[in-house]
Amino acid sequence: MADKTLTRMDLAEAVHNEVGLSRNDSADLVESVLTHISDSLVSGDTVKISSFGTFSVRDKAARVGRNPKTGEEVPIHPRRVLTFRPSHLMKDRVADGNKS
């Protein structure tokens, strides 16, 4: 497994190298895209990025859970969760990376 984590600065550097924008403009562009995606998710919209995957927000109902240590019942409150479904192309690409 790779120990590397992709950061905003890595994305900005990639934009700088590929597109040729200044480093500041590249960082602003990456920040703008991420802000737009997160704002859309907060408002309840689905974000679909072709050949990558789909981000969506799901409402989970209240339910009763158990403390695994004591077995005591604990109420779990309703909440909104973020889900990601990778595209088939992304799944295949990741799977092919495991073969090398």
Closest residue by Cα to residue 19 from 34, 30, 7, 5: 30
Residue 74 pairs with which residues in a beta bridge? 65
Q: Supply the pTM of this predicted model.
A: 0.78
Identity of residue 84:
F
> pLDDT higher for 64 or 1?
64
Residue 86: pLDDT band with limits 50, 70, 90: very high
Closest residue by Cα to residue 15 from 4, 30, 5, 32: 30
pLDDT digits (tens, 9 = 90+) for 27-48: 999 999 999 999 999 999 999 9
- The one-character DSSP state at 85 is E
User: Which pair of tokens denotes residue 87?
Assistant: 């595209």
Closest residue by Cα to residue 73 from 60, 59, 83, 63: 63
- The one-character DSSP state at 44 is T
Q: For residues 65-85, give the mean pLDDT.
A: 95
